[in-house]
Amino acid sequence: MEAPQLRPLGVGDIVDRVFSMYRQRALLFAALAAVPYLALFLVIGGIALSLGSQLAPLGPFLDTFTTVPSGTPPTPTITPTIASAFFALIVFGAVASLVSVLFLSVQIGSLVDATAARYLGREATVGSSFRAGLRVAPKIIGTGLLLFFSLVIGWAVLIVLIALSRNALVAALAGLAGLVATVFVFASWLVAPVVAAIEPVGPIHAVRRSWWLSNGHRWRILGLQILLAVLQTVLSTLISFIFVAAFISDAVVRIVLQNIVNVIATILWAPVEWGTFTILYFDLRVRKEALDLQLAAEALPRQA
C-alpha cells in the first residue's frame, strides 16, 4: 500500500485541496450531501401534512393581529381548538428538530468518511460512506449536544453573575469576556464532530481530543472558518444573482426561486465545509502527532 502524501498545510492549501477533491468526485460528494437533506425535507413535509388539519386554525387566529384597524389593540380569543393547534405546532417543532439533527448527523458522518478516505488515498462509494455515516451518527449527535449544552450552561452562569452584580461596567466586561471565551471554545471544539466520526471514541473524549489537537493552532482555525464564511457568502450571493435576480422580474417568483437556489447552494456547500474540517483534523494530527511519518511507516513492506 502506498503511503498518502501528507504534509503540514496552510489555510489556503487546505481549502485548495478540498475543492480539488470535490472536483474529482463531484457526484460522490453531491450525493452524500443531497440525499439526507432531501430526505429530511420529505419527512418534515409529510409530518406537516399529517398535522395540517390540526394546524389550520392558527391561520385565522394569526390574522386577527394583522386585520385590526391601526391603533386598535387585537383581542384574540384562545379557544380549546386554538390551544390544541398551538400544542400541535410545538409537537411539530420538536419532532422536526429531532429529525433534522438525525439526518444532518448522518450527512456529516458520510461526508467526513468520504473525505477521509479520499484524502488518505482510499476509494469511497456512496453506499459505504452512508453506512459509515449511519454508524457514527449517534456519536456525532452526542458530541453536538455536549458542545451545545456546555455553551448554554456557561452563558447561563455568566448571565446570572451579571444579574447579581447589578453593575453596568461589570456587565459590559463580563459580556465581552463571554464573547471572547465563546470564540476561543469554538476554535477548540471545531473538529470534535470529525474526531467522533473517525476515531473509536465517545463524545466526551472527542471533545477533549479536539481541544488538545487545536492547542496552539486556534488562530489558524479561526482564519480558516472566516475564509469559509466569506467564500460561502460570496458564492451564494453570486449564484443567487446570476440565476435568479438578473432574469426574474416578478417579485414573488424571484423570492421562491431564490429560496430554492439557496437550498441547492446549502447542499452543495456542505461537502466543502465538512471536507475542510476533515482535512484540518488530519493537518492537526500531522503537526502534533507526526501522522505523516506514522502512515509512511505502516506502508513499508513488512519483513517475514
What ranges do the domains of the chain cover? 15-68+79-299
Residue 61 confidence (pLDDT): 62
Specify burial of residue 92 (Cβ count, 10 A radius: 0-12, 13-18, 19+).
middle
Q: Tell me which of 44-53, 60-69, 133-142, 215-224 is least confident.
A: 60-69
Q: What is the pLDDT of residues 106-146, one digit of tens each?
A: 999 999 999 999 998 888 899 999 999 999 999 999 999 99
The rounded distance, in Å, linking the Cα atoms of 105 and 89 is 24
* Nearest-angstrom CA–CA distance, 9 and 152: 33
DSSP one-letter string for 183-221: HHHHHHHTTHHHHHHHSS--HHHHHHHHHHHHTT-HHHH
The lowest-confidence range among 83-97, 125-139, 196-210 is 83-97
**Confidence (pTM):** 0.84
Q: Which of 5, 4, 25 is nearest to 272 (CA)?
A: 25
- pLDDT of 46 strictly over 60: yes
What 3-state DSSP class applies to 264? Answer: helix
Given this model, what pLDDT does residue 1 score?
40
Where does the pLDDT of residue 65 fall: very low under 50, low under 70, confident under 90, or very high at 90 and above? low
| C-alpha cell at position 14 | 487546505
pLDDT at 168 over 70: yes
pLDDT for 77 equals: 65
C-alpha cell at 295: 502512515
Pair 29, 113: CB distance under 8 Å: no
pLDDT at 71 over 70: no
Q: How far apart, in whole angstroms, are the C-alpha atoms of residue 260 and residue 5?
A: 39
Residue 12 has pLDDT above 50, yes or no: yes
pLDDT band with cut points at 50, 70 and 90 for residue 252: low
pLDDT at 213 over 80: yes
Specify the pLDDT at position 208.
Answer: 94
* 8-state DSSP, 67: S
Question: What are the start-end ranges of the E strands in the chain?
Answer: none
- Residues ≥6 apart with Cβ < 8 Å to 95: 47
pLDDT score at 199: 92
Lowest mean pLDDT segment, chosen from 41-55, 149-163, 174-188? 41-55
Look up residue 144 and give its three cell numbers. Answer: 453536538
Q: pLDDT at residue 153 above 80? A: yes
Interatomic CA distance for residues 117 and 107, integer angstroms: 15
State the average pLDDT for the chain.
84
User: Residue 246: its pLDDT value, please?
Assistant: 57
Question: Does 82 score more than 80 pLDDT?
Answer: no
Beta carbons within 8 Å of 57's beta carbon, 6+ residues apart: 81, 82, 84, 85
Q: Element (H or E) spanning 158, and its range?
A: helix 126-165
Half-sphere exposure of 4 (CA within 13 A, CB side): 19
Under the banding of pLDDT at 50, 70 and 90, the label for residue 247 is low
* Residue 224 · residue 11 · CB < 8 Å: yes
Query: What helix, strand, coil percent values describe the chain, rounded to 5?
Result: 80, 0, 20
In which band, very low, low, confident or very high, does the pLDDT at 188 lie, cut at 50, 70 and 90?
very high
CA 191/CA 26 separation, integer angstroms: 23
What grid cell was written down for 210?
479536539
Using alpha carbons, select from 82, 26, 14 the residue that is nearest to residue 54: 82
Report pLDDT for 245: 57
Burial call 48-83: b when 16+ CB within 10 Å, e when fewer: eeebeebeebeeebeeeeeeeeeeeeeeeeeeeeee
In contact, 186 and 224? CB cutoff 8 Å: no
In single-letter form, the type of residue at position 1 comes to M
